[in-house]
Amino acid sequence: MVPEGLVFREAVHWFWATRDHQLSSQRDRGAMDAGQRSAVTGGKQMDGFARTIAQKLIAIGVPSQSIFFDKKLELPGFYRSTKQWDLIVITDGVLRAAIELKSQVGPSFGNNFNNRTEEALGTATDIWTAYREGAFQTEPTPWLGYLLLLEDCPQSRAPVKVAEPHFKVFPEFINASYAMRYELFCRKLVRERQYNAACFLLSDRTQWDEDKNYTVPTEDLGPIRFFDSLSRGVRPFDN
């Protein structure tokens, strides 16, 4: 694993603590959703990441009033009227950045992986097309970021078989775990210029209260690279 400091330690702690609290509250009320969906429908689990990113932006000079992460998050789309992002930066009527924050916790890694990939690609296609059609009147081009937290567990690290009834899949997918598939996906999002930067983290739910409660599988998808790209994307602030 790549050493990258603990910039998201509190965010990961908040994620698991909030998730556990939501599950416990639903059990107490006797209103559990199917599977573990109750923890997802409660929302707010990724708030710690939004706050951390906002603090980093303020530290490099972005005005706090230009950063939105708890309300007024809607941006126009091309294939739909609006899309609600997790954090956006708007200065003087110019869209500077928009960030998606996602998580994936077991046990249904297969179905959720497909949903996550389709969602991220659709979101990118929608906003870039809206940008091309003049929805934001933005110059320079807005910066897009994607962050994903994946549960680190035997199921997410186990090799996954692929079906090839007619054609061969790309070799990188052969026996690739869901952790590896997410890593490949995040990297390809950036290489294909769907997003300017992506951050991919793994976290073991049994270690959420530890000082080191997450790992970074690869440097190119770590927080340092993510924040470096974001900093370049939102500067200068007076233009």
Q: Pairing mode, if any, of strands 143-151 and 94-104?
A: parallel
What tens digit of pLDDT does each residue of 154-191 get? 999 999 999 999 999 999 999 999 999 999 999 999 99
Lowest mean per-residue pLDDT among 19-23, 65-69, 201-205 = 19-23
pLDDT value at 41 more than 80: no
Please give the model's pTM, rounded to 2 decimal places.
Answer: 0.90
Among 65, 89, 99, smallest CA distance to 140 is for: 89
Rounded Cα–Cα distance for residues 222 and 104 (Å) = 17
pLDDT of residue 108: 85
Residue 31 has a pLDDT of: 55
Kindly indicate the confidence band of residue 211, based on its pLDDT and cuts at 50, 70 and 90.
confident
Tokens, residue 120: 């991220």
32 vs 25: CA distance, rounded Å: 9
- Beta carbons of 110 and 155 less than 8 angstroms apart: no
Query: Among residues of the chain, what percentage have pLDDT more than 90?
Result: 76
| For residue 205, pLDDT beyond 60 | yes
**Cα dihedral sign for 163, 166, 169, 175?**
positive
DSSP class of residue 227 equals H
